[in-house]
Structure 1
Amino acid sequence: MRTIAFSVLIFFNLLLLQLQAQTKKYVIHTVAFYNVENLFDTINNPTIRDDEWTPKGSRHWTSQRYFKKLENLARVMSEIGMPENPNPPTFIGCAEIENRGVLEDLIKQPKLIDKEFGIIHFDSPDHRGIDVALLFQKKYFKPVTYSNIPLIIYKKPIVSATDTIENKKRRVFTRDQLLVTGFLDGEEINIIVNHWPSRSGGEQKSSPFREAAGALNRKIIDSLQRINPNAKVITMGDFNDGPYNKSVKVALGAKADKNDVSEYGMYNPFEDMAKRGMGTIAYRDWWDVFDQILVSQSLIKSDFNSFQFWKAGIFNKSYLIQNSGKYKGYPLRHAETEVGFSDHFPVYIYLIKEKM
């Protein structure tokens, strides 16, 4: 009888603990990144290479097509993170946008306008004129400082420090890294938005450029952590490399396992997805995870009294996927006969903290 009574007591204690856990409530915010692929307006800018994205250009980029693209992107952005979080992302990092104007048109779309997104954007030195930016819901996040940090890389090694003219000729002009610091519901958060150099010329030949981007990213994170050892840092973007490449694993120092993340280290939840064959972009039937969101060690602790990383995902709903033809199964992008979405799937993470 004592054994039965003891077992019943344990059962009810466990049930009580479970019920207590179920009563806990959390604040949740979605953090997303989306390479929106060539979000150009229809106006020809003589200072950048946008001629094809005009009504008379090779893409026949008319106002009708432009606004259809905006409508498509707004639908995606309004749904990222559902159903766990019915509210659209609090933060959306963007890549391949032409200028601030296209973002202003985007956040005025019916599916986004009531969320009152703010915009942080700088023009980059990229020859095509494509930039990175951060959209944020102003009722939740208050930016304090933001800056664009240039990536200085060269086609060939520098021979002489005084060879100024030759250095300028050798420079590869690519996207800046955007650093934003502010307060999310009163808690300081640092966000870096990236679009690292492409694989033009081949993966191996161009790898040093992305390794340099990873090193710059690490330098930015180090500078934040020197000011505040407990700085909460999120770095996101299209890295043009997978989670296993040197730019991410070595230069940035990302870890796939939370238990391997040391103090001041970075955790990459997307490496496990890559190992399981998931992807954000496809090329010649090979999937890879170029789009990633990494978080600092300070965001993977078990104390939910402040914002912490919960989980991550790739937003690849069926309407974002090509359902026929040569590229069946690929992300549904723009074509002559159809205005699609992007050649990338968006990615996202959740930040949560217990309601007090």
Structure 2
Amino acid sequence: MRIKKLIVLFFVLFAISGTNAQAKKYIVHTVAFYNFENLFDTINEANNDEEWLPNGAQNWTSKKYKQKLHNLARVLSEIGSTDNPNNSPTLIGGAEIENRGVLEDLIKEPALIGKDYGIVHFDSPDKRGIDVALLYQKKHFRPTSFKNIPLLIYRNQLNNKAKEKNDKDDASDDKSEIDKNLDRVYTRDILLVTGFLDGEEINVMVNHWPSRSGGEKKSSPFREAAGRLDRKIMDSIYKVNPNAKIINMGDLNDGTYNKSVKEGVGAKRKKEEVKEFGVYNPFEQMAKEGNASLFYRDAGDIFDQIMLSETLLKKDFSSYRYWKAGVYNKPFMITTVGQYKGYPLRHGATEIGFSDHFPVYVYLIKEIK
């Protein structure tokens, strides 16, 4: 691929490895995750979408749906533009997606159609009918394999104390459905996509872990199981390729400090703590500094996270490596008045907003020789 077709970032090398160095050129790709919050169309399908129909509780009309698509496309086209102003994200993980059709509508929006995004999507068993997916720019990323990996969790995984009492303060509109015959809790599958980013193999995992419906403590074992499954998937990738590069992203419904992330996945806050086959979570430090991707129980937190394998942290920039991370929260995406001032601007009775989450992103860079 010719260099002129790539997105090139110019900056002084001391930003990475110290002063007294000459300026160098780098290719940069933005990788993002965004919870689209109830991206439903207006068509009645075989899922629990009755709320999101023209005669449903949300009075969800075609006009509102089109405005929602327009709003999301605007955000997606601008994520990472501070340091990568010439291109939207190369890879976008998404959550709360009704079906492939809404994604096809989304990537046809004027703000995105010129980027020629491809879609990887599977229907999940989640009873709300919401799934995860990956959008990718075809000119830069070529998928070679993809599969959905079910998260099998059951009500009997809850401890006895958790069964006895719900924490009503932790009620959520993201309800986990339980099969009364099997006691299985139906939730989203984990999406695993392997492909080549400008010729380099990258593995991408997209998650939307079980909600806190019924209480954080009661539902914590479900997310802990999700964290362990993520770790198992990563380990299986390493068995095939010990040098594999892995990006693990999603709405985890837990903070960077929770057991599901710290013990299940094994994520570390500091790069120097990450050993071989380990995982780095740049959003843990960001959370400690007061950044937030959403507001939960009136406090900011980062449930939306992108974690990176140790292989993406090496200081040799002859291949793609992690540079830095961010939360994309521009003023137009933020509620400006009322009880929820400062929160993400979401859909309401009188306004079609964006999402109840802010998107998160990381940059991958490679030196141009």
TM-score (norm 2): 0.88
For 1:31-87, what per-residue CA distance to the aligned partner results, in whole angstroms no more than 9, with x for missing partners? Answer: 000001000000111x21110100000100000000000000000000000121021
Shift of 1:156: 1.3
Q: 2:340 aligns with which of 318, 327, 334?
A: 327
- 1:2-41 alignment, distance < 5 Å: 21-22=22-23, 24-41=24-41
User: Could you say which residue in structure 2 is the equivalent of 1:4?
Assistant: none
Runs of 4+ in 1 over 6 A off after TM superposition: none
User: Could you say which residue in structure 2 is the equivalent of 1:269?
Assistant: 282
Query: 1:142, 1:275 → 2: CA distance?
Result: 36
* Contact 1:154 1:167 (C-alpha < 8 Å) held by counterparts: no
- Structure 2: where are the runs of 5+ without partners? 1-13, 159-178
User: Could you say which residue in structure 1 is the equivalent of 2:71?
Assistant: 72
User: Could you say which residue in structure 2 is the equivalent of 1:338?
Assistant: 351
* Contact 2:157 2:221 (C-alpha < 8 Å) held by counterparts: no
* Contact 1:32 1:348 (C-alpha < 8 Å) held by counterparts: yes
Q: Name the Cα RMSD after superposition.
A: 1.5
Q: 2:229 aligns with which of 216, 227, 235?
A: 216
User: Could you say which residue in structure 2 is the equivalent of 1:63?
Assistant: 62
Shift of 1:21: 2.1
- 1:250-289 alignment, distance < 5 Å: 250-289=263-302
Shift of 1:122: 0.1
User: Could you say which residue in structure 1 is the equivalent of 2:193?
Assistant: 180
- Which amino acid is the alignment partner of residue 83 of structure 1? T
* Contact 1:117 1:135 (C-alpha < 8 Å) held by counterparts: yes
- Which amino acid is the alignment partner of residue 192 of structure 1? M
- Structure 1: where are the runs of 5+ without partners? 1-13, 159-165
For 1:190-219, what per-residue CA distance to the aligned partner results, in whole angstroms no more than 9, with x for missing partners? Answer: 000000000011000100000000000000
User: Could you say which residue in structure 1 is the equivalent of 2:123?
Assistant: 123
**Identity over aligned pairs, percent:** 65
- 1:309-324 alignment, distance < 5 Å: 309-324=322-337
In structure 2, relative to structure 1, the CA distance for the partners of 1:284 and 1:251 (3 Å cut) is: closer
For 1:211-239, what per-residue CA distance to the aligned partner results, in whole angstroms no more than 9, with x for missing partners? Answer: 00000000000000111111000000000
TM-score (norm 1): 0.91
User: Could you say which residue in structure 1 is the equivalent of 2:135?
Assistant: 135
Shift of 1:157: 4.4
Larger Rg: 1
Shift of 1:326: 1.0
Query: 2:180, 2:142 → 1: CA distance?
Result: 39
In structure 2, relative to structure 1, the CA distance for the partners of 1:110 and 1:157 (3 Å cut) is: closer
Shift of 1:18: 6.3
The alignment partner of 1:30 has SS state of strand
